[in-house]
Amino acid sequence: MKIVEETPYRFRIEQEGAMRVPGIVFASRSLLPDEYGDMALAQVANVATLPGIVRASYAMPDVHWGYGFPIGGVAATDVEAGGVVSPGGVGFDISCGVRLLVSDLDRQRLQPKIRAVMDRLDVAIPRGVGTKGVWRLPNRGALEDVLTGGARFAVQQGHGVARDLQRCEDGGMLQGADAAAVSERAIERGLGQIGSLGSGNHFLEVQAVERVYDAAAATQMGLSEGTVCVMIHTGSRGLGHQICTDHVHQMGNAMGRYGIQVPDRQLACVPARSPEGQAYLAAMAAAANYGRANRQLLTEATRRVFEQETTTSLDLLYDVSHNLAKIEEHPVDGQTRTLCVHRKGATRSLPPHHPDVPADLAAVGQPVLIPGTMGTASYVLAGVPDNPAFYSTAHGAGRVQSRHQAARHTNAEALSRSLEDAGILVRGKSRKGLAEEKPEAYKDIDAVIQTSHLAGLARKVARLIPLGVVKG
């Protein structure tokens, strides 16, 4: 593999063998994965072999090894020219994403009540492996309304306000969802989990704005130094996982009919316009809507806690997925093409005045929400014009240790004490889950954000620090 440094924040993997396009890695030298000890760069090259891929196989600054695609991978295929869709380019947690709630509290006013708030959230937020959610759905018909309506259906049922939908990607509902494309097993797994965090790196975090980089954008977003916010990171739970499992298997069996060969079976794919491709996109959209409704329900549970403990309200700044494939139009070689844009561990980052940016944020650009770890900062960025990667950027810090490695060398109780000594209250569901997510298991979030900023993927607006975290 030949890697060429194009700029201090952009590296090119030269096209060779079956690669149809080069690989482009947005990273500093310190963030660039080791090509010998980390398979992420090999995965970037593998993705470059997919039928119909255009421009390049992209890797974001937080890139690390994943299933088929690297986490932090972006790839677009030309659907009118046989371009494929691959479940591995979305991942198992379909529509895993982040939303940020903004209060009218400042950190000093919250401080005397922070323990009470965290204790209430500890009770109010269901989480952990297999946990039941806050919304009891009686049957498949009720779940189908969620799968087709997303956050919009949740708001219609009284779980939120109309303004929430204006601040959600796609208005809170991804078009094209078909509950009939979702297997019975996926339905079974989804019925009881709506309105729950899950486990792993999912969290609900109370934060405060520590620093503002772009005063005009921050003001428009309701952010100033000291502002208390709540960040929610979760996805489509077991339902999304099952949909990915189902369609990886189906596509693996179907590839031969389309004459498709891939270097890794985890890249199972079919033409996006094929019956199998359309079935996956319909099921994926249903899972995306489940994920959006899930975050909406958790938002309402959080709002109730803040109203009870602080008599303050929480307004939604934005909700955006970072595991999704979407049909979008982009210029390629001077022509507008219809593309299937895979973003796996990558956040959409639309520029100012893009038609899909909320009208009241048009001059600012889409808010881009990038969480750090339990003990480190998170960031709000904004989209910029001329983003070179189909309007995409990083989604988090990016792992440098597996969960097993992190847990093996970490005492969860000591970790919790050290975080509390640093002023971060932790409410964890499991010691093992806490140890797996120790801050040292991830890359330096500040370096990831700086690279995103300097590589032209997004611009910095504000840095947020954790005050308390609820973990699965």
Residues annotated as part of the active site:
395
Establish whether 233 is an annotated binding residue.
yes
Q: What is the mean pLDDT of residues 390-415?
A: 82
Mean pLDDT over 157-184 rounds to 97
Is residue 350 part of an annotated ligand binding site? no
> What pLDDT, in 10s, does the model give residues 277-288?
999 999 999 999
Does the annotation flag 395 for ligand binding?
Answer: yes
To the question of whether residue 374 is assigned a binding role by annotation, the answer is: yes
What mean pLDDT do residues 434-450 have? 85
Determine the pLDDT at residue 366.
99
Averaged pLDDT for residues 86-106? 98
Each residue's pLDDT tens digit, 40-95: 999 999 999 999 999 999 999 999 999 999 999 999 999 999 999 999 999 999 99
Q: Is pLDDT at 424 greater than 80 in this prediction?
A: yes
pLDDT at 27 (0 to 100): 97
How far, in Å, CA of 118 to CA of 305, rounded?
9
pLDDT, residue 36, reads: 63
> Is domain 3-471 annotated with CATH 1.20.1050.10?
no
Q: Closest by alpha carbon to 56, among 5, 88, 20, 86?
A: 20
**Would you state the pLDDT for residue 373?**
87
How far is Cα 310 from Cα 230, in angstroms, rounded to an integer?
14
Q: What pLDDT is stored for residue 404 in this prediction?
A: 67
Residue 37: pLDDT over 70: no
98-102, 165-169, 213-217, 434-438, range with the lowest pLDDT:
434-438
| Position 138 confidence tier, pLDDT thresholds 50, 70, 90 | confident
**Confidence check: pLDDT of 411 > 90:** no
For all residues of the chain together, what is the average pLDDT? 94
> Does 397 show up as a binding residue in the annotation?
yes
Quick: pLDDT tens for 291-316.
999 999 999 999 999 999 999 999 99
pLDDT at 433 over 90: no
Q: What is the pLDDT of residues 370-383, one digit of tens each?
A: 999 888 999 999 99
Distance CA 363, CA 357 (A): 9
pLDDT band at 405 (very low <50, low <70, confident <90, very high): confident
Kindly report which listed range (227-231, 356-360, 434-438) carries the lowest average pLDDT score: 434-438
pLDDT band at 325 (very low <50, low <70, confident <90, very high): very high
CA distances (Å), 413 to each of 86, 187, 435, 467, in order?
A: 40, 37, 9, 18
